[in-house]
Structures are given as structure tokens and as C-alpha cells.
């Protein structure tokens, strides 16, 4: 059975939005704990809040529009998130400019859950971005 193209598009957009929602929720839940280390500076907590807002906006954009720019925005946010978590998990990057050192060589449930959601969201957004379009 071949599924209608509109159904596939809607499902793809919803799955991307769910992945980005997971990303946003986890980052918002963890932000206050990570901000404690740098209460007066930019801090990792504020970076988590920025990531959460970007994920919410990209998720809404792809859910409402489903255009190539929407898929591209979702791809940038999701891929950027998973790249950051992998980088700071495995590489001890020192602080540079206003960005704090965020090395954390452990995995825990929320971090893993968010990383998997970001990775899945990035793959799905890439599928949405690069799949062939059919003119109506």
C-alpha cells in the first residue's frame, strides 16, 4: 500500500516537531541547574534556554509551513544540538569568549533522550529538505 504524499508530509512534519519539542523540554528542565555554575554570566543554563527557544520556533515553523526553509531551520537546530552534546561529551573544549567550558563526560537519561531526539529530528528534517517535490 502506498501512502498519500500529503499524509507522509504531515507525519514527517509532526515527527520533526515532536523531536524538537523533546529537545526544548529537556533543555528548559535542565537550564536552571546548569546556570548555577555561572549565575551572573551567559552560562550554560542561558545557552540551554536559547537552544530551547530555537527548537520551539523551528518546530512550530516546520509544523505550520513544511517548506524547504522550515525543514532547513529544523535541520540546523536539531543537528546543531546533537553536534554540541556530542562535542561537549567527548572533547574538553575550554571556555572561549562568552561561551563557558561545558565538558561533561557522562551520559544520563535526559541528556541521552535529548540527543536521540535531536539526532532523529536532524535526520527527518534532512529527509524533508532533500526529498523531491511534486508540483500540484
pLDDT at 110: 97
Quick one: which of 5, 132, 129, 135 has its CA closest to 75? 129
pLDDT class of 1 with cuts at 50, 70, 90: low
- Grid coordinates representing 11 are 507525519
Q: Is the pLDDT of residue 22 over 90?
A: yes
pLDDT digits (tens, 9 = 90+) for 34-85: 887 666 668 899 999 999 999 999 999 999 999 999 999 999 999 999 999 9
Residues 6+ apart with CB under 8 A from 2: none
Coarse DSSP helix, strand, coil percentages of the chain, rounded to the nearest 5 percent:
70, 0, 25
- Grid coordinates representing 49 are 534556554
Whether 9 and 127 have beta carbons less than 8 Å apart is answered as: no
Of all residues in the chain, the percent with pLDDT exceeding 90 is 76
Residues forming a β-bridge with 96: 99
The DSSP symbol for 97 reads T
Whether 113 and 26 have beta carbons less than 8 Å apart is answered as: yes
Q: Is the pLDDT of residue 136 over 60?
A: no
Amino acid at each position: 500500500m502506498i501512502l498519500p504524499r500529503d499524509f507522509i508530509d504531515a507525519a514527517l512534519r509532526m515527527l520533526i516537531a515532536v523531536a524538537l519539542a523533546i529537545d526544548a523540554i529537556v533543555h528548559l528542565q535542565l537550564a536552571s541547574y546548569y546556570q548555577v555554575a555561572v549565575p551572573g554570566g551567559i552560562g550554560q543554563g542561558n545557552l540551554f534556554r536559547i537552544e530551547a527557544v530555537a527548537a520551539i520556533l523551528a518546530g512550530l515553523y516546520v509544523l505550520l509551513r513544511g517548506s524547504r526553509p522550515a525543514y532547513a531551520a529544523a535541520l540546523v537546530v536539531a543537528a546543531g544540538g546533537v553536534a554540541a552534546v556530542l562535542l561537549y561529551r567527548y572533547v574538553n573544549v575550554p571556555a572561549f569568549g562568552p561561551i563557558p567550558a561545558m565538558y561533561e563526560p557522562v551520559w544520563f537519561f535526559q541528556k541521552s533522550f535529548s540527543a536521540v531526539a535531536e539526532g532523529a529530528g536532524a535526520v527527518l528534517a534532512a529527509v524533508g529538505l532533500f526529498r523531491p517535490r511534486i508540483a500540484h
